[in-house]
Amino acid sequence: MKFKDILQETQDQVLKGLILKVKNESMKKDMLWSELRSFLKDLKDYDQEVFKKVLSLITEKKYK
């Protein structure tokens, strides 16, 4: 699974925005976990299943 796959199967525009925000923030070279944590929490609160998929991609650094 890739970010592209998750985004393509998601119809909810708010959820897509949360996914993209997390992806973009996590790709920054100077990323701080304290900053990323708030975006991850928002995503988890909105959709826990998608959160699990996204978290897996981030920890494995699969951004393509």
Tokens of 63: 């951004």
What average pLDDT does range 4-13 have in this prediction? 95
Q: What is the pLDDT of residue 61?
A: 80
**pLDDT of 32:** 87
Give this prediction's pTM: 0.87
Look at residue 18 and give its three-state secondary structure: helix
Q: What is the pLDDT of residues 12-61, one digit of tens each?
A: 999 999 999 999 999 988 888 888 999 999 999 999 999 999 999 998 88
CB 15 within 8 A of CB 46: yes
Burial tier of 57 (Cβ tally within 10 Å: 0-12, 13-18, 19+) = buried
